[in-house]
Structure 1
Amino acid sequence: MSALTWLRRWQTIVQKLRVVSDSADEQALIEALSRTEAATVVGFVNAHAMNLVSANADYYDALSAADVLLRDGSGMAILFRRLGREPGLNMNGTDLIPKLLAAFKGRRVAFWGTEEPYLSNAVQHSEATFAVDVVSAHHGFDPVETYLNLARQYQPELVVLGMGMPKQEAVAARLAASGEPCLVVCGGAILDFLGGKVNRAPQWIRRLGCEWVFRLASEPKRLFTRYVVGNPMFLLRTLICKKS
């Protein structure tokens, strides 16, 4: 792939990112998303996503089709500053999605992703904590058509996808194209967190922007390539980028 291709993809994604300036802006976004009546996709863009964008055209197409993209992680803050832009708040899904669930109190929700028993744990925890009505819970390993059928059958108002990149973005794009009137959120490991499979880093580590170190230490085999190989590649590409 030529440098021009991945640079163009990066520029498109960065330009589309919705920078959230403060907590009031975040709350306004949550309220707007909770009132949407059309098919709407929310995605999160971190360093891993940008690496995938560089190499995977299908993923780039699916991610760039999202209605709202949010800046996630310290790596993306570095990229924003390199480009002379303010990065705003760190909008990771692990923090934002519980707030969205709270905004959907009493409404129909679907959890698609992870595996048992963590999926059932996530359902029980979310119904007890956020008072949502989880009408559909399904693991994240079926073909895309399975989730399209589930959307038609159960008609959730909020769909939380916990399949990981790049599958969840592909599923989200297809759901949006189907016209089902729901909010679709690409949640990565959120169902694992809600279901007790994965623990959050302590707050002081998160404040330092080093939650990825905690996750790598917790799941070294699964996350080695993403962080140990991927982070240096992301930073190298960040150095190549410059202010337009």
Structure 2
Amino acid sequence: MGEQHWQKRWKTIIDKLDVVPDDAAAQRLLNTLTCPETTTVLGFVNAHAMNLVVADAEYCAALSAADVLLRDGSGMSLLYRRLGLEPGLNMNGTDFIPRLMAAYRGRRVAFWGTQHPYLGQAVQRSESLFGVVPVSVHDGFASVDSYLALAREQQPELIVLGMGMPKQEAVAARLAATGRPCLIVCGGAILDFLGGKVSRAPRWLRRLGGEWAYRLLCEPKRLFKRYVVGNPLFLLRSLLFGKAAVSARRAV
């Protein structure tokens, strides 16, 4: 793909991102997401997502169609600073989605993603920790039509998708077309974390923005391409994108 095209896609996503400046703003966002008046899609954008956007136009369209997009990870913080923008809080889904589920205590939740036994363990833990009411539990390998049927039948108030990119964003976009009040969360590996398949990095490493390195150490084969290949590509593209943005500002 030509340089101009991928930069247009990056600009589309960056323009759509919601920067959350502080804890008070995060709480306001949380309050808004607990009372959706129509189908609302919440997505997260990290360096991996930006790399996928480059080569996948359909994914770019599905991601940018989300109602709320949040910055996730240290890579996106670097990109923001490269553009002369304040990145705000790191709104990674692994921390924010449990807060959301806690706010949905006593309400109907669908869990779609990953596979058993981790899916079942994630549901049990969510019931115990957050008091949610699971009404639909399904792995992440079904057809989109299967999830649409489950949504019609069970009418969950919250849908947690743990299918990974780009499938979860495609499913979320189709679900959003139904228009029924519901929050749909593109949760990536959240069900794997809750189900015990994947462990979190130590808190000190998370504060330094190094959780990706911990995940790579734990799953080197699966995540080699994403991090060892993907991170340098993202950094290179960030430099090129930042340079283009600076040139465009000077030309105005």
TM norm structure 1: 0.99
For 1:233, the equivalent position in structure 2 comes to 233
Once the 2 structures are TM-superposed, how far is the Cα of residue 177 of structure 1 from its aligned partner? 1.0
Alignment map for 1:173-188 (pairs within 5 Å): 173-188=173-188
Alignment map for 1:38-117 (pairs within 5 Å): 38-117=38-117
Alignment map for 1:181-220 (pairs within 5 Å): 181-220=181-220
Identity %: 68
Once the 2 structures are TM-superposed, how far is the Cα of residue 241 of structure 1 from its aligned partner? 1.3
Distance 1:240 1:208 in 2: 25
Structure 1 letter corresponding to 2:170: A
Structure 2: stretches of 5+ with no match in the other structure: none
For 1:35, the equivalent position in structure 2 comes to 35
Distance 1:84 1:158 in 2: 36
Structure 2 letter corresponding to 1:110: A
Structure 1 letter corresponding to 2:16: K
Give per-residue Cα distances to partners, 1:76-122, cap 9 Å, x unaligned. 00000011100000011000000000000100000000000111111
Asked if structure 2 preserves the Cα contact closer than 8 Å seen for 1:109 and 1:132, the reply is: yes
Structure 1: stretches of 5+ with no match in the other structure: none
Structure 1 letter corresponding to 2:61: D
Distance 2:54 2:178 in 1: 27
Give per-residue Cα distances to partners, 1:135-163, cap 9 Å, x unaligned. 00100001111100000010000000000
Asked if structure 2 preserves the Cα contact closer than 8 Å seen for 1:157 and 1:181, the reply is: yes
Give per-residue Cα distances to partners, 1:20-62, cap 9 Å, x unaligned. 0111110110000001120000000000000000110010010
TM norm structure 2: 0.96
- SS for the counterpart of 1:174 is helix
- SS for the counterpart of 1:164 is coil
Once the 2 structures are TM-superposed, how far is the Cα of residue 181 of structure 1 from its aligned partner? 1.9
Asked if structure 2 preserves the Cα contact closer than 8 Å seen for 1:152 and 1:180, the reply is: no
For 1:24, the equivalent position in structure 2 comes to 24
- SS for the counterpart of 2:177 is helix
Structure 1 letter corresponding to 2:165: M
Structure 1 letter corresponding to 2:151: A
Distance 2:47 2:65 in 1: 18
Structure 1 letter corresponding to 2:54: S
Distance 1:150 1:5 in 2: 37
